[in-house]
């Protein structure tokens, strides 16, 4: 998935709130949009090398959006708005084994009281897919979430309910970086989400993780990563 607008380099200074950060671009201080409402405290470090996409549209309050950050030598994409596009591109290029050449593949489908990222049909199988972007990493192990997520807990319960109605449902953790060893739920931050995820796996919801190849101007689905639940 390649960004359509120009991408430039900058330096992170500080996060002002969930949506706005202060950065330095070519020696000038700018306020920019942060495309990730997670905490990302281990990523948004003063002085970190960052990449920003130039915005478009008259209604924007900032000229740039923060999309990627170097954490030591690893470039991490932090754009939560792009993960669905990355997965969709992977499906269309037959990089997702269980969805090679689907009969039906639709975005944002409602089931009960939740809107899921994708709905698919392939042969006799049908189901919903929820994508979760992952930016939290420690010692080459990735985790989700980095902040408590009531919405995430609700999604899991709805996917479990769907199993009873014949749907084969998936939760995909899309790791927004390359070369990680494994993925696990982040018990330390949201034990309820982690417990619900374990219950869901036992009851039949498929849990998968994929890493990505990240460059300043693009991010591409790569390969499956071991899930530890």
Point out the least confidently predicted range of 70-79, 145-154, 174-183, 211-220. Answer: 145-154
pLDDT digits (tens, 9 = 90+) for 119-151: 999 999 999 999 999 999 999 999 999 999 998
Contact 91, 61 (CB under 8 A): no
Distances 42 to 57, 196, 197 between C-alpha atoms, Å: 31, 25, 24
Percent of the chain with pLDDT over 90: 94
**DSSP conformation class of 32:** E
> What does the pLDDT average to over 75-101?
97
Tell me the whole-structure pTM to 2 decimals. Answer: 0.95
Comparing C-alpha atoms, which of 57, 79, 60 is closest to residue 7? 79
Q: Report the C-alpha gap between 52 and 1 in whole angstroms.
A: 15
Grade residue 8 by pLDDT with cuts at 50, 70 and 90: very high
Q: Report the C-alpha gap between 113 and 150 in whole angstroms.
A: 14
| ∠ Cα 183 140 42 (to 5°) | 95
Q: Decide yes or no: CATH 2.40.50.580 for domain 7-77.
A: yes
pLDDT digits (tens, 9 = 90+) for 46-82: 999 999 999 877 678 899 999 999 999 999 999 999 9
Percent of the chain with pLDDT over 70: 100
Grade residue 92 by pLDDT with cuts at 50, 70 and 90: very high
Q: Report the C-alpha gap between 158 and 167 in whole angstroms.
A: 11
Statement: residue 32 has pLDDT above 70? yes
CATH number (3.30.2020.10, 3.40.120.10, 3.40.1350.60, 3.30.410.40) of 83-227 reads 3.40.1350.60
Q: Report the C-alpha gap between 44 and 70 in whole angstroms.
A: 9
Quick one: how far is CA 66 from the chain centroid? 15
Please state the domain extents for the chain.
Answer: 7-77, 83-227
């Amino acid at each position: 998935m390649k960004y359509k607008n120009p991408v430039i380099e900058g330096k992170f200074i500080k996060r002002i709130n969930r949506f706005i950060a202060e950065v330095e671009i070519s020696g000038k201080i700018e306020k920019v949009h942060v495309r990730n409402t997670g905490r990302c405290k281990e990523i948004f470090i003063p002085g970190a090398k960052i990449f920003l996409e130039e915005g478009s549209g008259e209604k924007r309050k900032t000229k740039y959006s923060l999309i990627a950050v170097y954490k030591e030598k690893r470039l991490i994409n932090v754009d939560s708005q792009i993960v669905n596009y990355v997965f969709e591109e992977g499906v269309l290029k037959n990089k997702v084994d269980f969805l090679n050449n689907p009969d039906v593949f639709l975005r944002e489908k409602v089931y009960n009281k939740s809107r899921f990222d994708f709905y698919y049909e392939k042969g006799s199988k049908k189901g919903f897919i929820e994508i979760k972007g992952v930016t939290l990493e420690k010692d080459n192990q990735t985790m989700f979430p980095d902040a408590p997520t009531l919405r995430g807990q609700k999604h899991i319960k709805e996917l479990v309910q769907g199993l009873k109605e014949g749907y084969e449902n998936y939760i995909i953790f899309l790791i927004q970086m390359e070369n990680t060893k494994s993925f696990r739920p982040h018990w330390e931050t949201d034990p309820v989400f982690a417990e619900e995820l374990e219950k869901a796996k036992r009851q039949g919801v498929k849990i998968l993780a994929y890493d990505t190849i990240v460059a300043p101007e693009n991010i591409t689905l790569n390969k499956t990563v071991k899930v530890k639940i």
